[in-house]
């Protein structure tokens, strides 16, 4: 039974791989399950599970360590993040693959944080934990501990945006602000000038991110070119917009930043907001 499933999966992922070849870079962003399995076998990857610790303890992908999203967010100063990496046995050169069990957004926020402190060699697993398990791939219950490693700190400010930079998107032509919250939240209120690319558009039931050519089409439809400077934001801590950050990178945007403090900070600072109150759109949702 397992081998059957595996064969099917292999066929499918080969297919995705061949499509991906036409657009480079996407493989850096996403690691497919077959590659991760062979990396596990070769013991040449550090897998990061960002779910809650008790979920990790119940079961996780073989060799994974636990760095819950909440732990990262509790204090995401670069110094502390580097310390977390070192404690987890991640050195500058270690390949890191991050996964969650929602739809990639939590993993994306953690991966972005690692890259922000200089660990560029970070990638997202294409699928979620539940799907990995359903495929019948390797899991374990053992809590993994690795010897402490040394990691340098090179803050990558090119991928981060503060509210000042967000403000500039309104006047500077080449800059585009992307709101990745759901449509109804966006309609209710958003940062003036933002364009809505809901996170629900980014993935499929098979993969946390669609194929690059599809993302590219969504961008083109919205008039986002790969040469634009793009900033993504969402509701509060930069998870949904973290996923959008990787999606747009996969679509070929070269200069892209995450406004990780997002709409929550923007509102708290009393910055201008665009509201739409002339329609009762919330009442269209079914219970």
Partner 1 sequence: MKREILNYPDKKHFSPKSNPRWGKEEETEIFGQNVKLFRKGKISEDDFRRFRLQHGAYGSRLQQNYSMVRIKIPSGEITPEQLEKIGALSEAFSIGSAHVSTRQNIQLHWVQLEDVSEVMRGLVDVGLTTREACGNTIRNVMCSHFAGVCPDEEFDSTPYSKAIARFFLRNPVCQNLPRKFKINFACCSRHGLVRIADIGLIPMKKEGINGFKIYLGGGLGAASFIGHQLEEFTSEDRLVSTCVAVVRLFDRLGNRENMARNRMRYLVNEMGWSKFQRLVIKERSNVEMTISLETLNRYKVEWETPGIRQLSNGRKLPLINEKVDVNSDPYKRWLHSNVVPQKQNGYFVVFITLGAGDITSNQLRSLAKTIRNYSGEECARNTPNQNFAVRYVKANNLPEFYNDLVKIGLANPGALSLSSVVGCSGTTSCNLAITNSHRLAKEIQSKFIELGIDTEDSLRDSTIKISGCPNSCGQHEIATIGFYGGASRVDGAMTPTYTMMFGGKDGEEGMLGKSVMRVPAKRVIATLIKIIEIYKQERSAEESLSRWISKLINGVVNGRGQVKSLDDMKSALAQTVTLPSPSDDPEAYMDYGNDIKFSAKTARGECAA
Q: Residue numbers of the site for partner 1 (CB under 8 A)?
A: 182-184, 187, 196, 198, 200-201, 205, 217-218, 221-223, 276-287
Residue 283 to residue 94: CA distance in whole angstroms: 49
Closest to partner 1 by CB, 72 or 177: 177
- Is residue 273 within 8 Å of 257, Cβ to Cβ? no
Supply the minimum distance, in Å, between the C-beta of residue 205 and partner 1: 8
Quick one: 269 or 284, whose CB is closer to partner 1? 284
Based on CB atoms, which residue is closest to partner 1, 136 or 198? 198
Q: Dig out the tokens for 93 from the structure.
A: 């050169």
Residue number with CB closer to partner 1 (56 or 103):
103
Tell me whether residue 98 or residue 177 sits nearer to partner 1 (CB atom): 177
The C-alpha atoms of residue 257 and residue 249 are separated, in whole angstroms, by 10
Nearer to partner 1, 164 or 278 (CB): 278
Which residues, in sequence order, are bridge partners of residue 256? 230
Q: Which burial class, exposed, middle or buried, applies to 265 when counting CB atoms under 10 A from its CB (0-12, 13-18, 19+)?
A: middle
Least distance to partner 1, CB of residue 186, Å: 9
Contacts of 197 (CB under 8 A, 6+ apart): 178, 179, 180, 218, 222, 232, 244, 247, 248
Least distance between partner 1 and beta carbon 183 (Å): 5
Q: Smallest distance from the beta carbon of 276 to partner 1, in angstroms?
A: 7
Distances (CA, A) of 1 to 11, 134, 205, 212: 16, 12, 22, 32
Minimal distance, residue 159 CB to partner 1, in Å:
26
Cα gap 83→177, rounded to integer Å: 32
Instruction: Name the pairing type of β-strands 60-61 and 139-140.
Output: antiparallel
Q: What is the DSSP letter of 123?
A: E
For the CB of residue 18, give the shortest distance to partner 1 in the complex, in Å.
Answer: 21
């Amino acid at each position: 039974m397992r081998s059957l499933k595996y064969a099917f999966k292999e066929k499918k992922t080969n297919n995705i791989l061949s499509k991906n070849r036409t657009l480079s870079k996407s493989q850096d962003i996403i690691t497919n399950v077959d590659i991760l399995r062979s990396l596990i076998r070769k013991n040449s990857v550090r897998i990061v599970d960002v779910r809650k610790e008790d979920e990790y303890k119940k079961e996780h992908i073989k060799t994974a360590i636990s760095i819950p999203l909440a732990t990262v967010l509790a204090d995401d100063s670069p110094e502390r993040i580097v310390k977390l990496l070192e404690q987890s046995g991640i050195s500058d050169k270690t390949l890191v693959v991050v996964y969650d069990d929602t739809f990639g957004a939590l993993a994306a926020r953690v991966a972005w944080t690692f890259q922000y402190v200089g660990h560029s060699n970070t990638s997202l697993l294409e699928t979620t934990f539940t799907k990995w398990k359903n495929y019948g791939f390797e899991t374990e219950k053992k809590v993994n501990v690795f010897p402490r490693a040394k990691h340098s700190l090179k803050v990558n400010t090119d991928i981060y945006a503060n509210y000042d930079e967000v403000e500039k998107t309104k006047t500077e032509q080449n800059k585009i602000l992307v709101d990745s919250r759901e449509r109804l939240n966006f309609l209710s209120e958003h940062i003036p000038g933002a364009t809505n690319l809901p996170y629900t558009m980014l993935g499929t039931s098979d993969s946390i991110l669609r194929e690059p050519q599809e993302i590219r089409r969504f961008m083109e439809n919205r008039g986002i070119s790969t040469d634009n400077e793009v900033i993504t934001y969402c509701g509060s801590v930069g998870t949904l917009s973290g996923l959008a950050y990787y999606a747009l990178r996969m679509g070929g945007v070269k200069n892209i930043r995450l406004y990780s403090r997002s709409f929550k900070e923007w509102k708290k600072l009393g910055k201008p907001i665009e509201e739409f109150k002339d329609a009762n759109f919330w009442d269209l949702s079914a219970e």
